[in-house]
Amino acid sequence: MSVQNTVESLAIGAKKAARKLAFESTTRKNNVLLRMAETLQEQKKFIQAENEKDLHAGREKGLSTAMLDRLALTDKVIDAMVAGLQEVVALPDPVGEVDEMIRRPNGLMVGRMRIPLGVIGMIYESRPNVTVDAAALCLKSGNAVILRGGSEAIHSNLALAKVLQDALETENIDPAAIQVIPVADREAVNVLLSLEDHLDLIIPRGGEGLIRFVAQNSRIPVLKHYKGVCHAFVDSVADFDAAAEIIMNGKTQRPGVCNALETLLVHKDIAGEFLPKIGARLIAAGVELRGCPQTKNILVDVKDAIEDDWYAEFLDLILAVRVVDDLDAAMDHIDRYGSQHTEVIVTANYANAQRFIKEVDASAVMVNASTRFSDGGQFGLGAEIGISTTKLHAYGPMGLKELTARKFIVYGDGQIRT
């Protein structure tokens, strides 16, 4: 079969499966998720044998130790997948939920009922656990999913899909509800992105290059974020200790993720006092500082920040630092260089906190907290399928609800329009 035919027949199957999955009860979906957890454990040997094929090929290809580590489906990783499935069981099912029910003057009852989106395409480069996590969230929200992981993980992903499909079959659910594209050829992605009549949403996860490729080539709506250039602004009146903790946490707790802190903005009135304190801590923690001229006047051991540094998602122990005149200058900087991901103000000034919350255009805007909280789990969504930094449909971390839509439902007793 050609790549076109292979992917298209997957998508046709997924659409058919989605139509039935949309009406499955929460109990049935939870039973499938629990069965999936059991089957993962039962078939661990098979999964690990298939994973070993990917690891072997990876070693031959000279993948880095870090990449091989990310690829390895150790006992611990599989246990984490099982725990993840059990957590999804515990999440409330958004499907069928009715809200905003109102009674119209003519007696019509009009409300909105949550329904699945249909078929979701996940395109990712990440470790194979995304295969199981994404499949679980899509299933719980009543959506079918077509998964396309990195070519270096194809045996692992196909093995995981096989195991998940076994669980679906045992519970009499169409196994086409969860499918991994079986061809490594990149052409498969192009085909998938063209199937606008069969897929309802594409969620890409990975580097900026992958995401731009998907966004530019998709005929299907895409929810995505390119990068996280997150700022913290320390205002002229602020608790310096809290500010320092928030900055250290944002920059050093996990520098390689999208909600890490990338640029520090400091009010000019307190820069002379605050920057030496935080500068010393950052440098002691191995953070390279790249500062504006005013920052360099205050701190030693600071490189010149060039224009590109203000746009940069370093994903590393590097921090850009700029002294700004006031709140407006800070917000102007964020507006110009930000990525609409996560923005923080550290302040004791009530009015400035409220202005920052209201006026900053980002998917998550925070007062006196670390950028690292910008996450579906931390925000109470229960899980996260991705993050959107565009405003249509979802803005910010996306959980189960963001995998659903709402239809209007109307209960009448014979009303006609006059």
Q: Note the residues at the interface with its own copies (CB under 8 A).
A: 19, 22-23, 96, 102, 104, 108, 110, 113, 115, 117-118, 200-201, 221, 239, 242, 245-246, 248-249, 253, 335, 353, 357-359, 361-370, 372-374, 378-380, 390-393, 395-397, 405-417
Nearest-approach distance from CB 380 to its own copies, in angstroms: 5
Q: Report the alpha-carbon distance of residue 99 to residue 175 in Å, rounded.
A: 32
Q: Which residues of 43-70 are buried (b: 16+ CB within 10 A; e: fewer)?
A: bbeebbebbeebbebbeeeebeeeeeeb
Nearer to its own copies, 311 or 379 (CB): 379
Indicate the DSSP class of residue 315.
-
Nearer to its own copies, 180 or 264 (CB): 264
Nearer to its own copies, 14 or 246 (CB): 246
* Long-range contacts from 71-79, C-beta under 8 angstroms, 24+ separation: 71/127, 71/128, 71/152, 71/153, 71/156, 73/47, 73/48, 73/128, 73/156, 75/44, 77/127, 77/129, 78/40, 78/41, 78/44, 78/47, 78/48
Nearer to its own copies, 89 or 115 (CB): 115
Nearest-approach distance from CB 411 to its own copies, in angstroms: 5
Q: Report the alpha-carbon distance of residue 283 to residue 375 in Å, rounded.
A: 27
Amino acid residing at 40: L
Nearest-approach distance from CB 339 to its own copies, in angstroms: 14
Candidates 158, 168, 278; CA nearest to 291 is 278
Strand ranges in 183-287 using DSSP code E only, listed in sequence order: 201-205, 230-234, 261-267
Q: Report the alpha-carbon distance of residue 52 to residue 38 in Å, rounded.
A: 21
Nearest-approach distance from CB 258 to its own copies, in angstroms: 14
Nearest-approach distance from CB 375 to its own copies, in angstroms: 8
Contacts of 105 (CB under 8 A, 6+ apart): none
Q: Are 46 and 174 in contact (CB under 8 A)?
A: no
Nearest-approach distance from CB 342 to its own copies, in angstroms: 9
Nearer to its own copies, 181 or 244 (CB): 244
Nearer to its own copies, 62 or 414 (CB): 414
Nearer to its own copies, 125 or 235 (CB): 235
Run of H or E residues at 189: helix 187-194
Nearest-approach distance from CB 196 to its own copies, in angstroms: 9
Candidates 41, 36, 164, 40; CA nearest to 89 is 36
Q: How many CA atoms lie within 13 A of 126 on its CB side?
A: 19
Nearer to its own copies, 142 or 279 (CB): 142
Nearer to its own copies, 148 or 372 (CB): 372
Q: First CA to last CA across the chain, in angstroms?
A: 57
Nearest-approach distance from CB 393 to its own copies, in angstroms: 4
Nearest-approach distance from CB 384 to its own copies, in angstroms: 12
